[in-house]
Amino acid sequence: MPTLKERAARTEQLRQIPEETVKDLIASGLIRIGNPLRYGGLDADLDTIHEVGFELGRGCGATAWCYSLWATHNWWLGHFPERAQEEFFATGPDTLFSSGLDPTRGTATSVPGGFRVAGRWSFSSGCDAATWTMVATTPSAMLWLLLPREDYEIVDTWFASGLRGSGSKDVLVKDVFVPAHRAVLPDRSGDGDWTGWDLHRRPSYRPPLRCLTGWDLAAPIVGMAQGAVEEFAARLRGTTGAGRTAQSVPLQLRVAEASAEIDAARALQRADIREILDKAAREEPFTEVDRARYKRDKAFVVKLCVQAVNRLFEASGARGILEAEPLQRFHRDVHAASHHAALGWDASAETFGRLALGGSP
C-alpha cells in the first residue's frame, strides 16, 4: 500500500499504470485470482478480487481500477468456449486483456466461421499492459468478442479529470475476422449457457454473469473512499486549537458519517455477493426483482462512497485542492469512476422501483 501511495502522482502523470506496478501486481499473483484453476488460478473467487480492490483503492484509485478489471476479465474468460481460453492462456497465466463494452461503437457481421468486426471503442482501461481486448456489439443480441493485440490499435484519447492513471484509451478495430469460438453471449452466460460451470466447477460460474458484473468497478471506489477518510484523518490527527483541527466537532461528525457510509457500502457489497453465490449453489432462480435489486445495491454502494468523499472534501479547506494533497485525487477519482455506465444510480433505482411496485421489466 505505501508503494502505491508513493507512485500515485506519477501514475497520474503517465496516464497509465507504471510498468513496475504492473510487474508488482503480476508477481504478487493477485491477478491470477480471476484465472480458472486450470490456467494458474488460485483457490479463491470473485469476492476475493473485490477484497483486493478495497485495499488497493486506499493507495491508488487507478491501480485498483485496472487491477479489478484485469482480474475480473480473466474470470469472464471462463465463460468463453474452451478453445478461446486455451488460445488466450497459451502465453501463460499472467496474460491480461482490456475491454470496450459500449455496443454502439462498432459492428460485427456474421460470416462463415465467425464475424467481421470493425469499430472504435472508448474507455479501455489498462489497455497498454494488455495483449488482448474484448469489445461488445449487438448484431442481434449483446455479443462480446475477444481479439489479440495484432488485430487492434490503441488510440491515445485519455485526457480526463479523474482516474488519469487508468490509461482508458480507445481501441480501434479495422475490419478483422474474429472466429466464432472467440465470441460469447454475456446475457446467456450462467443463465442458460453453462460453459463456465461445466469447464471449471467454480461457484461464481453458477449464477448469471450479469448478476456479478460491475461489482469489480464498485470495489475500487469503496477503497478510494476509505483512502480519502484515512488521508483526511491523518492530516488532522493530533492537531489542536480553533479552526480545522482534531478538536473541531463539525469535522469529527463529518469523519464519523463518512466512515459509516463507507462501512455500509462495503458491507452491502459483501452481503450481495455472498447471497448471489449461495443462491446459485442452491440452484434457486434469480427473479427480475432479484436482478434489479443487485443493480440497485451496486449503484447505491457507489452513491454512498461519493457522498462520503464529498463530505470530507467540502471540509478540506484551501489546502485540499493542492495537487500535492492525496485527498483531491481521491475526490476526482471517485467522481470519475462513478460516471461509469454500469454504476449510475438513477436508471438502476427506477428499474427496481418500477418492479417493486408491480410494473413490467
Query: pLDDT tens for residues 282-319?
Result: 999 999 999 999 999 999 999 999 999 999 999 999 88
Q: Tell me whether residue 193 is in a domain.
A: no
Which pLDDT band holds residue 211 (cuts at 50, 70, 90)?
A: very high
The answer to whether residues 37 and 164 belong to one domain is no
Q: Quote the pLDDT of residue 243.
A: 83
Residue 334 has pLDDT above 80, yes or no: yes
Please report, for the domain that includes residue 257, its CATH number: 1.20.140.10
Map grid coordinates 481479439 to a residue: 147
Whether residues 133 and 250 share a domain: the answer is: no
CA–CA gap between residue 304 and residue 350 (Å, rounded): 17
Same domain, yes or no, for 222 and 312? yes
> Would the CA dihedral through 265, 270, 276, 279 be positive or negative?
negative
Q: Are residues 268 and 331 in the same domain?
A: yes
d(CA 86, CA 83): 5
Residue 1 pLDDT more than 80? no
pLDDT band with cut points at 50, 70 and 90 for residue 2: confident
Range of the domain at 261: 214-356
Same domain, 104 and 74: no
pLDDT band at 361 (very low <50, low <70, confident <90, very high): confident
Domain boundary among 26, 59, 91: 91
Asked whether residue 346 falls in the same domain as residue 267, the answer is: yes
159 and 127 part of one domain:
yes
Per-residue H/E/C for 147-159:
EEHHHCEEECCCC
Q: Which residue has the cell 491501480?
A: 63
Angle at alpha carbon of residue 267, lines to 262 and 273, rounded to 5°:
130
The tally of domains found in the chain comes to 3
* Burial of 317: CB neighbours in 10 Å, binned 0-12, 13-18, 19+: exposed
Region 233-262: what's the mean pLDDT? 93
Give per-residue pLDDT as tens, 13-25.
Answer: 999 999 999 999 9
